[in-house]
Chain A
Amino acid sequence: MTPPPGSLLTAENLRKAYGPTLALDGAGFSIHPGEVVAVMGPSGSGKSTLLHCLAGIVPPDSGSILYDGADLATMSDARRSALRRSDFGFVFQFGQLVPELTCVENVALPLRLNGTSRKEAERAALAWMQRLEVDDIGRKRPGEVSGGQGQRVAVARALVTEPRVLFADEPTGALDSLNGERVMELLTDAARSTSAAVVLVTHEARVAAYSDREIVVRDGKSRDMERAV
Protein backbone atom coordinates (compact mmCIF):
# COMPACT_ATOMS: atom_id res chain seq x y z
CA MET A 1 0.00 0.00 0.00
CA THR A 2 1.26 3.50 -0.83
CA PRO A 3 -0.17 5.99 1.68
CA PRO A 4 -1.22 9.47 0.46
CA PRO A 5 1.71 11.93 0.63
CA GLY A 6 2.16 13.38 4.11
CA SER A 7 -0.35 11.03 5.70
CA LEU A 8 0.35 9.96 9.29
CA LEU A 9 -2.10 7.09 9.57
CA THR A 10 -3.57 5.24 6.61
CA ALA A 11 -5.73 2.13 6.44
CA GLU A 12 -6.78 0.21 3.37
CA ASN A 13 -9.28 -2.54 2.69
CA LEU A 14 -9.91 -3.41 6.35
CA ARG A 15 -12.09 -6.40 7.08
CA LYS A 16 -13.14 -7.44 10.56
CA ALA A 17 -15.81 -9.94 11.57
CA TYR A 18 -17.16 -10.76 15.02
CA GLY A 19 -18.48 -14.28 14.56
CA PRO A 20 -20.99 -14.14 11.70
CA THR A 21 -21.24 -10.34 11.86
CA LEU A 22 -19.08 -8.43 9.41
CA ALA A 23 -18.17 -5.17 11.17
CA LEU A 24 -15.74 -3.85 8.53
CA ASP A 25 -15.97 -4.81 4.89
CA GLY A 26 -13.18 -3.13 2.94
CA ALA A 27 -13.03 0.14 4.92
CA GLY A 28 -10.26 2.66 4.34
CA PHE A 29 -9.02 5.77 6.12
CA SER A 30 -6.32 8.40 5.97
CA ILE A 31 -5.34 11.34 8.18
CA HIS A 32 -2.59 13.96 8.18
CA PRO A 33 -0.84 15.55 11.19
CA GLY A 34 -2.95 18.38 12.65
CA GLU A 35 -6.08 17.24 10.83
CA VAL A 36 -9.42 16.50 12.52
CA VAL A 37 -11.40 13.83 10.66
CA ALA A 38 -14.92 12.88 11.73
CA VAL A 39 -16.02 9.28 11.28
CA MET A 40 -19.79 9.31 10.90
CA GLY A 41 -22.44 6.71 10.29
CA PRO A 42 -25.47 5.08 11.89
CA SER A 43 -25.27 2.86 14.98
CA GLY A 44 -23.77 -0.51 14.13
CA SER A 45 -22.21 0.74 10.90
CA GLY A 46 -18.69 -0.21 12.02
CA LYS A 47 -17.33 3.22 12.95
CA SER A 48 -16.13 2.25 16.46
CA THR A 49 -14.58 -0.95 15.08
CA LEU A 50 -12.74 1.18 12.53
CA LEU A 51 -11.41 3.39 15.35
CA HIS A 52 -10.34 0.34 17.39
CA CYS A 53 -8.48 -1.10 14.39
CA LEU A 54 -6.81 2.23 13.57
CA ALA A 55 -5.69 2.57 17.19
CA GLY A 56 -4.24 -0.94 17.29
CA ILE A 57 -6.71 -2.01 19.99
CA VAL A 58 -8.27 -4.66 17.77
CA PRO A 59 -6.39 -6.36 14.90
CA PRO A 60 -8.26 -6.49 11.58
CA ASP A 61 -8.82 -9.89 9.96
CA SER A 62 -7.22 -8.52 6.80
CA GLY A 63 -6.10 -5.23 5.32
CA SER A 64 -3.27 -2.91 6.23
CA ILE A 65 -2.84 -0.01 8.66
CA LEU A 66 0.24 2.11 8.18
CA TYR A 67 1.26 4.42 11.01
CA ASP A 68 4.29 6.53 10.23
CA GLY A 69 5.55 3.86 7.83
CA ALA A 70 5.01 0.83 10.11
CA ASP A 71 2.20 -1.71 9.59
CA LEU A 72 0.08 -1.95 12.77
CA ALA A 73 -1.69 -5.06 11.51
CA THR A 74 1.47 -7.15 11.52
CA MET A 75 3.18 -5.54 14.52
CA SER A 76 3.70 -7.55 17.74
CA ASP A 77 1.27 -6.95 20.60
CA ALA A 78 4.07 -5.57 22.77
CA ARG A 79 5.13 -3.04 20.16
CA ARG A 80 1.54 -2.02 19.51
CA SER A 81 0.96 -1.48 23.23
CA ALA A 82 4.10 0.62 23.48
CA LEU A 83 2.98 2.69 20.52
CA ARG A 84 -0.45 3.25 22.07
CA ARG A 85 1.18 4.59 25.22
CA SER A 86 3.73 6.80 23.47
CA ASP A 87 1.97 8.09 20.36
CA PHE A 88 -1.78 7.70 20.82
CA GLY A 89 -4.28 9.37 23.14
CA PHE A 90 -7.85 8.23 23.81
CA VAL A 91 -11.09 9.90 24.87
CA PHE A 92 -14.23 7.82 25.24
CA GLN A 93 -17.80 8.61 26.17
CA PHE A 94 -17.86 7.08 29.66
CA GLY A 95 -15.91 5.61 32.51
CA GLN A 96 -12.36 6.42 31.67
CA LEU A 97 -11.16 8.09 34.87
CA VAL A 98 -9.86 6.06 37.81
CA PRO A 99 -12.31 6.86 40.65
CA GLU A 100 -9.79 6.35 43.45
CA LEU A 101 -7.35 8.94 42.07
CA THR A 102 -7.78 12.73 42.18
CA CYS A 103 -8.33 14.52 38.87
CA VAL A 104 -4.74 15.75 38.69
CA GLU A 105 -3.47 12.24 39.46
CA ASN A 106 -5.70 10.91 36.68
CA VAL A 107 -4.28 13.38 34.18
CA ALA A 108 -0.71 12.65 35.34
CA LEU A 109 -1.20 8.87 35.15
CA PRO A 110 0.00 8.28 31.54
CA LEU A 111 3.20 10.20 32.29
CA ARG A 112 3.73 8.27 35.53
CA LEU A 113 3.30 4.97 33.63
CA ASN A 114 5.99 6.15 31.22
CA GLY A 115 8.38 6.73 34.12
CA THR A 116 8.06 10.49 34.68
CA SER A 117 8.51 11.62 38.30
CA ARG A 118 5.37 12.47 40.27
CA LYS A 119 6.32 16.13 40.62
CA GLU A 120 7.06 16.60 36.93
CA ALA A 121 3.99 14.58 35.84
CA GLU A 122 1.64 16.61 38.05
CA ARG A 123 3.17 19.88 36.89
CA ALA A 124 2.48 18.93 33.26
CA ALA A 125 -0.97 17.62 34.22
CA LEU A 126 -1.91 20.93 35.86
CA ALA A 127 -0.74 22.87 32.80
CA TRP A 128 -3.05 20.77 30.59
CA MET A 129 -5.91 21.09 33.08
CA GLN A 130 -5.49 24.84 32.89
CA ARG A 131 -5.84 24.73 29.11
CA LEU A 132 -8.97 22.64 29.51
CA GLU A 133 -10.27 25.10 32.16
CA VAL A 134 -10.42 22.53 34.98
CA ASP A 135 -7.29 23.33 36.99
CA ASP A 136 -9.48 24.34 39.96
CA ILE A 137 -10.72 20.75 40.50
CA GLY A 138 -7.30 19.08 40.54
CA ARG A 139 -7.63 17.73 44.06
CA LYS A 140 -11.18 16.42 43.64
CA ARG A 141 -11.99 12.85 42.70
CA PRO A 142 -13.96 12.08 39.52
CA GLY A 143 -17.10 11.29 41.55
CA GLU A 144 -17.10 14.83 42.93
CA VAL A 145 -17.10 16.72 39.62
CA SER A 146 -19.74 17.28 36.92
CA GLY A 147 -19.91 15.29 33.69
CA GLY A 148 -18.55 18.19 31.65
CA GLN A 149 -15.64 18.72 34.05
CA GLY A 150 -14.88 14.99 34.10
CA GLN A 151 -14.78 14.89 30.31
CA ARG A 152 -12.38 17.85 30.19
CA VAL A 153 -10.16 16.00 32.68
CA ALA A 154 -10.30 12.97 30.35
CA VAL A 155 -9.28 15.16 27.39
CA ALA A 156 -6.40 16.62 29.43
CA ARG A 157 -5.29 13.10 30.31
CA ALA A 158 -5.43 12.05 26.66
CA LEU A 159 -3.31 15.02 25.61
CA VAL A 160 -0.79 15.13 28.47
CA THR A 161 1.66 12.86 26.64
CA GLU A 162 1.29 15.10 23.56
CA PRO A 163 0.18 12.18 21.36
CA ARG A 164 0.54 12.36 17.60
CA VAL A 165 -2.94 10.88 17.16
CA LEU A 166 -5.93 11.46 19.43
CA PHE A 167 -8.76 8.94 19.12
CA ALA A 168 -12.09 10.28 20.39
CA ASP A 169 -15.13 7.98 20.37
CA GLU A 170 -18.33 9.99 20.96
CA PRO A 171 -16.42 12.31 23.33
CA THR A 172 -19.44 14.52 24.02
CA GLY A 173 -22.09 11.80 23.91
CA ALA A 174 -22.89 12.12 27.60
CA LEU A 175 -22.85 15.93 27.76
CA ASP A 176 -25.45 18.65 27.17
CA SER A 177 -25.09 20.97 24.15
CA LEU A 178 -23.19 23.77 25.89
CA ASN A 179 -20.71 21.49 27.66
CA GLY A 180 -20.32 19.34 24.58
CA GLU A 181 -19.47 22.31 22.40
CA ARG A 182 -16.98 23.71 24.88
CA VAL A 183 -15.26 20.32 25.15
CA MET A 184 -15.05 20.16 21.33
CA GLU A 185 -13.64 23.70 21.14
CA LEU A 186 -11.00 22.95 23.75
CA LEU A 187 -10.19 19.52 22.36
CA THR A 188 -9.72 20.70 18.76
CA ASP A 189 -7.82 23.85 19.78
CA ALA A 190 -5.46 21.82 21.97
CA ALA A 191 -4.94 19.16 19.32
CA ARG A 192 -4.26 21.72 16.58
CA SER A 193 -1.77 23.56 18.78
CA THR A 194 0.31 20.36 19.07
CA SER A 195 -0.34 19.25 15.44
CA ALA A 196 -2.00 16.09 16.74
CA ALA A 197 -4.27 14.30 14.28
CA VAL A 198 -7.76 13.67 15.70
CA VAL A 199 -9.93 10.70 14.70
CA LEU A 200 -13.37 11.74 15.91
CA VAL A 201 -16.11 9.12 15.92
CA THR A 202 -19.51 10.75 16.26
CA HIS A 203 -23.07 10.43 15.08
CA GLU A 204 -23.77 14.09 15.93
CA ALA A 205 -23.50 16.59 13.09
CA ARG A 206 -22.82 19.49 15.46
CA VAL A 207 -19.79 17.63 16.81
CA ALA A 208 -18.64 16.62 13.33
CA ALA A 209 -18.78 20.31 12.37
CA TYR A 210 -15.60 20.79 14.44
CA SER A 211 -13.73 18.51 12.03
CA ASP A 212 -11.89 19.43 8.83
CA ARG A 213 -13.58 16.69 6.82
CA GLU A 214 -15.64 13.56 7.36
CA ILE A 215 -15.78 9.99 6.22
CA VAL A 216 -19.01 8.05 6.36
CA VAL A 217 -19.13 4.40 7.38
CA ARG A 218 -22.11 2.33 6.33
CA ASP A 219 -22.37 -1.47 6.47
CA GLY A 220 -18.65 -1.69 7.21
CA LYS A 221 -17.66 0.29 4.13
CA SER A 222 -16.18 3.77 4.31
CA ARG A 223 -16.61 6.73 2.03
CA ASP A 224 -14.36 9.78 2.04
CA MET A 225 -16.78 12.65 1.43
CA GLU A 226 -14.08 15.14 0.49
CA ARG A 227 -13.17 12.99 -2.49
CA ALA A 228 -16.82 12.28 -3.26
CA VAL A 229 -18.06 15.86 -3.61
Chain B
Amino acid sequence: MSIGHTLLGLLESGPRHGYDLKRAFDEKFGHDRPLHYGQVYSTMSRLLKNGLVEVDGIEPGGGPERKRYAITDAGVTDVQTWLATPEKPEPYLQSTLYTKVVLALLTRRDAADILDTQRAEHLRLMRILTDRKRKGDLADQLICDHALFHLEADLRWLELTAARLDKLAEVVVK
Protein backbone atom coordinates (compact mmCIF):
# COMPACT_ATOMS: atom_id res chain seq x y z
CA MET B 1 0.00 0.00 0.00
CA SER B 2 1.25 3.52 -0.78
CA ILE B 3 1.45 5.35 2.54
CA GLY B 4 2.23 8.62 0.76
CA HIS B 5 -0.93 8.50 -1.34
CA THR B 6 -3.01 7.45 1.65
CA LEU B 7 -1.78 10.35 3.77
CA LEU B 8 -2.35 12.72 0.84
CA GLY B 9 -5.89 11.41 0.47
CA LEU B 10 -6.53 11.97 4.17
CA LEU B 11 -5.31 15.56 3.80
CA GLU B 12 -7.90 16.26 1.12
CA SER B 13 -10.59 16.80 3.73
CA GLY B 14 -8.52 19.60 5.33
CA PRO B 15 -5.10 20.48 6.80
CA ARG B 16 -3.82 18.29 9.64
CA HIS B 17 -0.86 17.91 11.95
CA GLY B 18 1.40 14.90 11.58
CA TYR B 19 -0.04 13.41 14.74
CA ASP B 20 -3.64 13.78 13.48
CA LEU B 21 -2.64 12.15 10.22
CA LYS B 22 -1.15 9.15 12.02
CA ARG B 23 -4.25 8.81 14.17
CA ALA B 24 -6.60 8.98 11.15
CA PHE B 25 -4.47 6.47 9.27
CA ASP B 26 -4.35 4.00 12.18
CA GLU B 27 -8.09 4.30 12.76
CA LYS B 28 -9.07 3.65 9.16
CA PHE B 29 -6.30 1.50 7.69
CA GLY B 30 -3.76 0.48 10.30
CA HIS B 31 -5.81 -2.30 11.92
CA ASP B 32 -2.88 -4.59 12.63
CA ARG B 33 -0.02 -2.35 11.55
CA PRO B 34 -0.17 1.17 12.99
CA LEU B 35 2.20 3.73 11.45
CA HIS B 36 5.37 4.71 13.25
CA TYR B 37 5.82 8.43 13.83
CA GLY B 38 9.07 8.22 11.87
CA GLN B 39 7.20 6.91 8.82
CA VAL B 40 4.75 9.80 8.99
CA TYR B 41 7.44 12.48 9.19
CA SER B 42 9.71 10.95 6.56
CA THR B 43 6.73 10.57 4.21
CA MET B 44 5.58 14.15 4.82
CA SER B 45 9.12 15.46 4.17
CA ARG B 46 9.13 13.64 0.83
CA LEU B 47 5.68 14.95 -0.11
CA LEU B 48 6.76 18.46 0.89
CA LYS B 49 9.91 18.21 -1.21
CA ASN B 50 7.85 17.04 -4.21
CA GLY B 51 5.38 19.91 -3.88
CA LEU B 52 2.42 17.66 -3.10
CA VAL B 53 1.84 19.22 0.34
CA GLU B 54 2.74 22.54 1.90
CA VAL B 55 3.14 23.71 5.46
CA ASP B 56 -0.08 25.44 6.39
CA GLY B 57 1.12 26.66 9.76
CA ILE B 58 3.53 25.95 12.62
CA GLU B 59 2.29 26.12 16.16
CA PRO B 60 4.52 27.90 18.65
CA GLY B 61 7.05 25.89 20.57
CA GLY B 62 6.57 22.96 18.27
CA GLY B 63 8.97 20.38 16.96
CA PRO B 64 8.27 18.75 13.62
CA GLU B 65 5.04 17.27 14.95
CA ARG B 66 3.56 20.76 15.36
CA LYS B 67 3.62 21.50 11.64
CA ARG B 68 0.23 21.58 10.00
CA TYR B 69 0.20 20.22 6.45
CA ALA B 70 -2.17 21.04 3.59
CA ILE B 71 -2.49 19.26 0.27
CA THR B 72 -1.57 21.24 -2.88
CA ASP B 73 -3.33 21.12 -6.28
CA ALA B 74 -0.52 18.88 -7.50
CA GLY B 75 -1.20 16.61 -4.51
CA VAL B 76 -4.93 16.36 -5.36
CA THR B 77 -4.03 15.45 -8.94
CA ASP B 78 -1.58 12.84 -7.66
CA VAL B 79 -4.26 11.22 -5.47
CA GLN B 80 -6.73 11.27 -8.36
CA THR B 81 -4.22 9.57 -10.69
CA TRP B 82 -3.40 6.93 -8.09
CA LEU B 83 -7.07 6.15 -7.43
CA ALA B 84 -7.89 5.90 -11.12
CA THR B 85 -4.97 3.60 -11.98
CA PRO B 86 -5.75 -0.10 -11.50
CA GLU B 87 -3.35 -2.11 -9.36
CA LYS B 88 -1.26 -4.89 -10.83
CA PRO B 89 -3.08 -8.05 -9.74
CA GLU B 90 -0.95 -9.78 -7.09
CA PRO B 91 -1.46 -11.55 -3.76
CA TYR B 92 -2.54 -9.47 -0.77
CA LEU B 93 -3.84 -6.71 -3.00
CA GLN B 94 -6.87 -6.22 -0.81
CA SER B 95 -5.31 -3.79 1.65
CA THR B 96 -4.39 -1.39 -1.16
CA LEU B 97 -7.78 -1.72 -2.83
CA TYR B 98 -9.58 -1.29 0.47
CA THR B 99 -7.56 1.86 1.12
CA LYS B 100 -8.42 3.24 -2.32
CA VAL B 101 -12.12 2.54 -1.87
CA VAL B 102 -12.24 4.15 1.58
CA LEU B 103 -10.29 7.19 0.39
CA ALA B 104 -12.61 7.56 -2.60
CA LEU B 105 -15.62 7.53 -0.26
CA LEU B 106 -13.94 10.00 2.12
CA THR B 107 -13.13 12.38 -0.72
CA ARG B 108 -16.56 11.99 -2.43
CA ARG B 109 -15.13 10.30 -5.50
CA ASP B 110 -16.79 7.42 -7.34
CA ALA B 111 -15.69 4.30 -5.44
CA ALA B 112 -17.65 1.98 -7.77
CA ASP B 113 -15.56 3.33 -10.61
CA ILE B 114 -12.36 2.22 -8.87
CA LEU B 115 -13.78 -1.29 -8.42
CA ASP B 116 -14.95 -1.46 -12.06
CA THR B 117 -11.55 -0.34 -13.34
CA GLN B 118 -9.82 -2.93 -11.17
CA ARG B 119 -12.19 -5.66 -12.35
CA ALA B 120 -11.31 -4.82 -15.95
CA GLU B 121 -7.61 -5.09 -15.14
CA HIS B 122 -8.09 -8.47 -13.45
CA LEU B 123 -10.15 -9.75 -16.38
CA ARG B 124 -7.50 -8.58 -18.81
CA LEU B 125 -4.96 -10.78 -17.04
CA MET B 126 -7.46 -13.65 -16.76
CA ARG B 127 -7.95 -13.54 -20.54
CA ILE B 128 -4.21 -13.80 -21.11
CA LEU B 129 -3.96 -16.77 -18.71
CA THR B 130 -7.03 -18.46 -20.21
CA ASP B 131 -5.55 -18.13 -23.67
CA ARG B 132 -2.20 -19.53 -22.47
CA LYS B 133 -4.05 -22.40 -20.86
CA ARG B 134 -5.92 -23.24 -24.06
CA LYS B 135 -2.68 -23.39 -26.02
CA GLY B 136 -0.45 -24.96 -23.37
CA ASP B 137 0.28 -28.42 -22.02
CA LEU B 138 -0.99 -29.83 -18.74
CA ALA B 139 1.76 -28.11 -16.72
CA ASP B 140 0.80 -24.74 -18.25
CA GLN B 141 -2.83 -25.45 -17.52
CA LEU B 142 -2.19 -26.21 -13.86
CA ILE B 143 0.05 -23.17 -13.36
CA CYS B 144 -2.45 -20.89 -15.07
CA ASP B 145 -5.33 -22.43 -13.08
CA HIS B 146 -3.58 -21.55 -9.83
CA ALA B 147 -3.25 -17.91 -10.87
CA LEU B 148 -6.81 -17.86 -12.25
CA PHE B 149 -8.31 -19.11 -8.99
CA HIS B 150 -6.48 -16.38 -7.05
CA LEU B 151 -7.63 -13.70 -9.47
CA GLU B 152 -11.15 -15.06 -9.24
CA ALA B 153 -11.01 -14.75 -5.45
CA ASP B 154 -9.97 -11.09 -5.82
CA LEU B 155 -12.85 -10.51 -8.20
CA ARG B 156 -15.34 -12.02 -5.81
CA TRP B 157 -14.06 -9.62 -3.17
CA LEU B 158 -14.47 -6.73 -5.64
CA GLU B 159 -18.07 -7.76 -6.33
CA LEU B 160 -18.92 -8.08 -2.66
CA THR B 161 -17.34 -4.74 -1.88
CA ALA B 162 -19.24 -3.12 -4.76
CA ALA B 163 -22.46 -4.52 -3.31
CA ARG B 164 -21.59 -3.11 0.12
CA LEU B 165 -20.41 0.37 -0.91
CA ASP B 166 -23.44 2.14 0.54
CA LYS B 167 -22.91 0.49 3.93
CA LEU B 168 -19.18 1.15 3.85
CA ALA B 169 -19.86 4.81 3.04
CA GLU B 170 -22.07 5.07 6.12
CA VAL B 171 -19.27 3.68 8.29
CA VAL B 172 -16.33 5.68 6.95
CA VAL B 173 -18.02 9.03 6.27
CA LYS B 174 -19.16 9.90 9.75
Contact = CB atoms under 8 A, between A and B. Distances in A.
B130 A225 contact: no
Contact of B120 (A42, A210, A228): A228
A22 to B, nearest CB: 18
Interface of A: prevailing SS: mixed
B151 interface: yes
A205 B156 CA distance: 9
Nearest to B129: A209
A37 to B, nearest CB: 12
B155 A205 contact: yes
Nearest to B121: A229
Contact of B116 (A203, A206, A225): A225
A216 B119 CA distance: 10
B134 interface: yes
A141 interface: no
B116 A205 contact: no
Interface residues of A, number: 19
Interface range for B: 20 to 34
Interface in A189-229: 203, 205-206, 208-212, 214, 216, 218, 223, 225-226, 228-229
B112 A42 contact: no
B112 A205 contact: no
Contacts of A211: 127
Contacts of B169: none
A191 to B, nearest CB: 14
26 contacts: A40-B119, A42-B159, A42-B162, A42-B163, A205-B122, A205-B123, A205-B126, A205-B151, A205-B152, A205-B156, A206-B130, A206-B148, A206-B152, A209-B127, A209-B130, A212-B127, A218-B112, A225-B117, A225-B120, A226-B120, A228-B117, A228-B120, A229-B86, A229-B120, A229-B121, A229-B124
Query: Across chains A and B, which 10 residue pairs bring their CB atoms closest together, nearest first?
Result: A209-B126, A225-B120, A209-B130, A205-B155, A229-B120, A205-B152, A209-B127, A206-B152, A216-B116, A42-B163
Given A40-B119, A210-B130, A216-B119, 10 more contacts: A185-B134, A205-B123, A206-B152, A208-B123, A208-B126, A209-B126, A214-B123, A225-B120, A225-B123, A229-B124
Interface of B: 86, 112, 116-117, 119-124, 126-127, 129-130, 134, 148, 151-152, 155-156, 159, 162-163
